Amino acid sequence: MRLFAARRSRVLLAMIMPALLLGGTVGDAAGQPGMANGCGGPLTSIGRLKPPPPGASAPGAISDDAMSKLRASAATSEAAHEIEAFARTAFPSSFTAVVVDHDSVVVHRTSHAAPDLDPAVTERFPAVRVRFVDSPRNGADLFALAERVSGDWDLWRANGVTPRRSGPDVTRGVVVLGIAEDANEIRARVAERYGDGVVVEGGYLPVCLD
């Protein structure tokens, strides 16, 4: 896909842990093939492992401490999902995105955010460690710009440029356009067409290699 939009993610313990503890793959637990790479092929060809002999530890077994950390990570990811849904609905002109950073949730919002956004989030989610970071644009504008850049790939190709990937970088509040050529060759043209919301980066290889 051309547009790699930032999406909320969750740690699916119910899916992943049975596979690890039984010595299988994630695909085994889900009843689906293993995860595929960008070219449509599997990331790994490892199949189901043989069950351990009686009395032996199951392959992939993890400690109680590691399990506790996984549960905490899952809880933080779930909280981030809920915060995103709340902030995007209540403050659409100010909210940009959320990012999970270890055990905390980082809320990106515009520097001119509605003055009640921050307290509204902290009051609604008192048990979650939340940080707030300024962004140059809100999520609606950022993702609309990302869609525009993605839709311009054929235009850039017609002008001798080879786009490799594009999508929003929510931590910087910009859209990144990755191309095969030297970025300096089109940086001025990109700024003329999109303004300061798009950062062009050069030297990208094809996503799928034969």
Per-residue pLDDT reduced to its tens digit, 86-100: 999 999 999 999 999
In this predicted structure, the answer to whether residue 21 has a pLDDT above a threshold of 50 is no
In this predicted structure, the answer to whether residue 62 has a pLDDT above a threshold of 80 is no
Q: Do 84 and 98 touch, CB atoms closer than 8 A?
A: yes
For 70-85, give one letter per residue: b (16+ CB within 10 A) or e.
eeebbebbebbbbbbe
Calculate mean pLDDT across residues 159-187: 95
Q: Do 201 and 178 touch, CB atoms closer than 8 A?
A: yes
Name the helix (H) or strand (E) containing 109: strand 104-110
In this predicted structure, the answer to whether residue 40 has a pLDDT above a threshold of 60 is no
Give the lowest-confidence range in 2-6, 130-134, 138-142: 2-6
CA atoms within 13 A on the CB side of 155: 9
In this predicted structure, the answer to whether residue 61 has a pLDDT above a threshold of 70 is no
Domains parsed from the chain with CATH numbers: 140-201 (3.30.300)
Please state at what angle helix 13-21 crosses helix 64-90, rounded to 10 degrees: 160
